[in-house]
Amino acid sequence: MELLEQKILTEGKVLSESVLKVDSFLNHQIDPRLMKQIGEAFAHRFSDAGVTKVLTLESSGIAPAQMTGLSLGVPAIFARKRKSLTLNDGLYSAEVHSFTKNVTNEISVSKEYLSSEDTILILDDFLANGQAAKGLINLVQQSGATLAGVGIIIEKGFQDGGKQLREQGVRVESLATIASLNHHTVTFSKEGASV
């Protein structure tokens, strides 16, 4: 998605060979028009998948999930992150380890909003080692719902989460795929260059 790649090039901050900060339009400040285009892009890519709900993880996934749900005409759900197990009644939950922050969160979603009748599109802002996506897939599996696939805004193609998911047969669609962050420079791979 070209507008997204331009934003990453002009506003993204390469903090290391593995960390890209996009706080100015995605993770802290949001560019609403870009989010609208991102939502339309995901809706277009998964238009054939019979999606009944969009599932994401708080907080950065919420704006794109809202716009994708709006485009597809289906509800969006954001899984909650918690530090520790509290009341677990009525929740599907899974553990997600963040290597960036070195913390394990429990993520959960109410059983009321995921059912075996649903076809779920999972959305997330970044895909690196795939921990968050795997946790969300775990929630979908617990509910018995069908997984339409995983939509990712920025995939770090040099980490192996995307490869692992695709090898498991999961449909992964990334709007921008980064081949490398070496030398403080963002290099996109071809997959990311196409709309």
DSSP 8-state code for residue 174: E
Q: Which two tokens stand for residue 116?
A: 């075996």
Nearest distance from C-beta of residue 89 to a copy of itself, angstroms: 14
Least separation in angstroms between CB 146 and a copy of itself: 18
For residue 14, state whether it binds a copy of itself (rule: CB under 8 A). Answer: no
- Exactly one of 2, 58, 117, 160 binds a copy of itself (CB under 8 A); which one? 58
Binding mask 98-137 for a copy of itself (x = CB under 8 A): -----------xx-xx------------------------
Q: Which two tokens stand for residue 54?
A: 């969009």
Q: Which of 62, 121, 127, 139 binds a copy of itself (CB under 8 A)?
A: 62
Long-range contacts of 68-76 (CB under 8 A, 24+ apart): 68/38, 68/39, 68/42, 68/43, 68/121, 68/123, 68/151, 69/39, 70/39, 71/39, 71/40, 71/42, 71/43, 71/44, 72/43, 72/46, 72/47, 72/121, 75/113
**Is 76 near a copy of itself (CB under 8 A)?**
yes
The contact pattern for a copy of itself, residues 16-55, with x = CB under 8 A and - = no contact, is: -------xxx--xxxxxx-xx----------------x--
Which contacts of 164-169 are long-range, i.e. CB under 8 A and separated by 24 or more positions? 164/130, 165/127, 165/130, 165/133, 165/134, 165/137
List the binding residues for xanthine.
Answer: 20, 27, 156
Residues in contact with a copy of itself by the rule CB under 8 A? 23-25, 28-33, 35-36, 53, 58-59, 62-63, 65-67, 69-70, 73-78, 80, 83, 109-110, 112-113
